[in-house]
DNA sequence: CCGGACGCCTGTCGGC
DNA sequence: TGCCGACAGGCGTCCG
């Protein structure tokens, strides 16, 4: 599930419940996630205060005084803030129990999520140190994309989904932004004009921002910290709409796999 | 370095 | 109704 807007929604939802609070203990029911959770994490966080919460790419960062708890939601992860005595379900793998009687609970049916304890400096962590810019930052724009696309022959869709190029753009928002920019997802990244990349970068920013304002996209698993879904699914123009009419021209939308992922596009409006 | 394929894991859905 | 394969929002790793 979670692309940048869903992770950002989770961050904004949990932040008021966690910032400044003290951790009683970490309860891990399932250690086998994307990477096994080392048991050393439990002792590292117990009794510590949560100073601040941040997001980098699709990672949620809970900053303590002496290091960072780094959390990824994978494909099916979601976070809720609940009373610590609320009975856990089958896929509720981790509770971060606070001293006020509440807990942050990670649910992740597919177990592609992860939890790391990272001593400072956080940016030196191997999973973070080679990432591209944040799409909503000033460091990301059409000129940057154009420059990075030189000599790249792979499809533009894979290019904008590559976290070394830009972070946070997953399959849903890649499809949506390419449609909005009128670019065919299969076009080689190196064969797109600068002006079209400027348009694409603007649409990536706009669609991510719009999705954040709607609380993200809920297709299956994703819920916000209070258990409610996000409402951006209703605004999706092409994702999941193979065979339906193009919102621009009415021609049936195509569905095709590009790089192992389903792609949706209009073969007339996207070139 | 680049690009494509694979695998991690569970749940759901469509077809037979 | 049951079984089986395909597919699902991510991403590190391996291989050519």
Distance, Å, A82 CA → B2 C1': 45
A100-116 in b/e burial notation, b at 16+ Cβ within 10 A?
A: eebbbbbbbbebebbbb
Question: What are residue A198's phi and psi, to 5 degrees?
Answer: -65, -40
- Residue A111 contacts strand B, CB under 7 A: yes
Please list, in sequence order, all residues whose beta carbon lies within 8 angstroms of the beta carbon of residue A44, skipping any fewer than 6 positions away. Answer: A66, A67, A117
Distance, Å, A162 CA → C13 C1': 15
pLDDT at A103 over 90: yes
Q: What integer pLDDT is reported at residue A220 of this predicted model?
A: 84
pLDDT band at residue A256 under the 50/70/90 scheme: very high
Instruction: Pinpoint the alpha helices (H) of chain A.
Output: 4-18, 40-45, 142-149, 156-160, 171-181, 194-213
Rounded Cα–Cα distance for residues A211 and A12 (Å): 13
pLDDT tens, position by position, A161-210: 999 999 999 999 999 999 999 999 999 999 999 999 999 999 999 999 99
Catalytic site includes residue A6: no
Distance, Å, A58 CA → B12 C1': 25
Tokens 């928002």 map to which residue? A173
Q: What integer pLDDT is reported at residue A1 of this predicted model?
A: 61
Rounded Cα–Cα distance for residues A218 and A187 (Å): 29
pTM of the model: 0.97
Distance, Å, A258 CA → C7 C1': 14
Q: What integer pLDDT is reported at residue A221 of this predicted model?
A: 81
pLDDT at A101 over 70: yes
From the list A58, A107, A224, A241, the catalytic residue is A58
pLDDT tens, position by position, A5-44: 999 999 999 999 999 999 999 999 999 999 999 999 999 9
Domains, chain A, with CATH or none: 4-124 (3.20.190.10), 142-265 (1.10.8.50)
pLDDT tens, position by position, A70-91: 999 999 999 999 999 999 999 9
pLDDT at A153 over 90: yes
- Residue A163 contacts strand B, CB under 7 A: no
State mean pLDDT over A142-156.
97
For B1, nearest residue by CA–C1' is: A152
Distance, Å, A242 CA → C16 C1': 33
pLDDT tens, position by position, A197-247: 999 999 999 999 999 999 999 988 899 999 999 999 999 999 999 999 999
Catalytic site includes residue A2: yes
pLDDT at A253 over 90: yes
State mean pLDDT over A112-136.
97
pLDDT at A113 over 90: yes
Catalytic site includes residue A188: no
> Closest nucleotide (CA of A78 to C1')?
C9
Question: Do A107 and A67 contact (CB within 8 A), yes or no?
Answer: no
From the list A2, A5, A109, A135, the catalytic residue is A2
State mean pLDDT over A122-150.
97
Catalytic site includes residue A205: no
């Amino acid at each position: 599930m979670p692309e940048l807007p869903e992770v950002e929604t989770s961050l904004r939802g949990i932040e008021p419940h966690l910032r400044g609070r003290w951790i009683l203990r970490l309860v891990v029911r399932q250690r086998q996630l994307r990477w096994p959770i080392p048991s050393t994490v439990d002792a590292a966080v117990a009794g510590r205060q949560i100073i601040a919460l941040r997001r980098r790419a699709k990672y949620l960062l809970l900053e303590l005084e002496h290091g960072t708890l780094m959390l990824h939601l994978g494909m099916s992860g979601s976070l809720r803030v609940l009373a610590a005595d609320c009975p856990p379900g089958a896929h509720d793998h981790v509770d971060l129990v606070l001293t006020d009687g509440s807990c942050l609970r990670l649910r992740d049916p597919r177990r592609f999520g992860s939890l790391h304890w990272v001593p400072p400096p956080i940016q030196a962590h191997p999973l973070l140190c080679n990432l591209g810019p944040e799409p909503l930052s000033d460091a990301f724009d059409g000129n940057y994309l154009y420059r990075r696309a030189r000599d790249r022959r792979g499809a533009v869709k894979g290019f904008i989904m590559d976290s070394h190029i830009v972070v946070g753009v997953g399959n849903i928002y890649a499809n949506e932004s390419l449609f909005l920019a009128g670019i065919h997802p299969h076009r080689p990244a190196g064969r797109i004009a600068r002006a079209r990349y400027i348009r694409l970068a603007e649409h990536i920013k706009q669609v991510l921002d719009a999705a954040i304002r709607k609380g993200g996209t809920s297709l299956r698993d994703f819920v916000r910290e209070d258990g409610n879904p996000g409402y951006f699914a209703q605004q999706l123009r092409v994702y999941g709409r193979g065979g339906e009419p193009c919102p621009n021209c009415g021609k049936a939308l195509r569905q095709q796999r590009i790089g192992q992922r389903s792609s949706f596009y209009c073969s007339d409006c996207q070139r």
